[in-house]
Amino acid sequence: MNPAIAVKTNPKATNATLESASARNPVTSARPASPFPVGYHDLHPDISVNFQLNRFYGWVGDDSMLTEMREAAAGLAGVQDYPAFTKIFLELGDKALARHEELKGAYYLRLAEFFLHTKDPRKLPTRQRFVDLVLGHFQIPSSACSRIPYGSGWLPAYRLTPTQPTNGTFVVFGGFDSHIEEWLPAALFFRDAGYDTILFEGPGQGAALELAHLTMSPEWEKPVKAVLDFFRLDAVTLMGFSLGGGLVIRAAAFDPRVRRVIAYDVFTNALECFLRSVPSLARRKLLESIDAGDEGAVDTFIADAMAKSLLIDWAMQLALHNTGLRTPYEVMKHYQKYETASISSRLTQDVLLMAGAEDHYVPVHQLPDQIATLTHVRSLTARLFTRAEQAQNHCQVGNMGLAFRVILDWMESLGTIEGPPALS
């Protein structure tokens, strides 16, 4: 079977039907090609660093950026040191901006900020430079920006409305390391396709974390409720990307105003993803220590892993920051709560699941895992993206345009949102 699959279910079906995507040709839109580049490039030997270079290039699509990053990465091939990455990409950003290459410069700064330690005094100013640059480049007016009251702080949101919206309301949020402004090129793509598009950051993300001091929570139905209440929405398509692919399942289980659900990509078990790069035997022992409440053993294990792995070091530093917790053990216990198996059976909406066949963050088995637990949905479509499509990676970095066309085609195939709300 071709690994790119489509799955459909209905309330009366006892078994899902799987079809070859190449036979069905699910992406048949006549709309013009998307503005996003195609191709996943070998730019650095570290799998995670290479992914991030491809990720931020994907929003720009300037071939000169590939050349510059290759040259920069060549001098970093043996480097296991985030400050070295930061220095190079801050310099590339400043040089691009001096040449008036605004979008490229902005995403170089975002790349540099990504690698900056959470306590580095340059981090927030670099983030703000990025935000100001992309808002200016895409001419996002202040009237499109909102601060939604939430708890002791607020949630930032952007509403991008086409002149004559005809296709419904599309609400989007991110995941573990999100600055929602990074996603503006995609939001404008959906706006121009006729969708009233709302982007927001929830607790633990972007400005909600850095400026409003709201830490990460698995109870994602609460920020979603605040956003839908604020904009007075009653029938939406809700999408979460990266870790948001799990959070969106949680939110949809509790809010009947969410009529359609997109997990881009699936994310059924956050702790499994967090520990994926740990060898299986060591991971099993670590999980036993977590379950036994052996805080000292967990903290010692993670400290050693951080010293050996750029990816684990980055992930733990950010996890401590976005949760506001003190120790790796507390972080591990916290992220055990980010799972979808216990809640998926509550969903009754139309659902689209997406996954990359070679996602280095999310094991591919989480796609069938998620399918198996969505037992009461109105319809279910699943799409596995492959290397042949240059979309095998997390959130289809390498061919994000294909992912966005799949999303559009799925929404359009369902027609206008009608009928009573889904039951929660």
Per-residue tens of pLDDT for the chain, all 424 residues = 334 445 444 433 323 333 333 333 333 334 545 689 999 999 988 888 899 999 999 999 999 999 999 988 887 766 667 788 889 999 999 999 999 999 999 999 999 999 898 889 999 999 999 999 999 999 999 999 999 999 999 999 999 999 887 889 999 999 999 899 999 999 999 999 999 999 999 999 999 999 999 999 999 999 999 999 999 999 999 999 999 999 999 999 999 999 999 999 999 999 999 999 888 899 999 999 999 999 999 999 999 999 888 888 889 999 999 999 999 999 999 999 999 999 999 999 999 999 999 999 999 999 999 999 999 999 999 999 999 999 999 999 999 999 999 999 999 999 877 544 444 4
Write down the pLDDT at residue 115: 87
Reading across the β-sheet that carries 258-264, which strands appear in turn? 145-150, 153-160, 196-200, 169-173, 236-241, 258-264, 350-356, 379-385
- pTM for the predicted model, two decimal places: 0.90
Minimal CA–CA distance to 276: which of 359, 387, 390, 383?
359
Domain ranges of the chain: 47-136, 144-269+338-414, 275-335
Task: Give yes or no for a contact between 406 and 354, defined as CB atoms under 8 angstroms apart.
Answer: yes
144-269+338-414 belongs to which CATH class? alpha beta
Write down the pLDDT at residue 387: 97
Sequence-ordered list of residues with C-beta below 8 angstroms from that of 140, at least 6 positions apart, any chain:
134, 158, 160, 184
Write down the pLDDT at residue 69: 92
The first and second tokens of residue 170, run together, are 């599309």
Write down the pLDDT at residue 9: 42
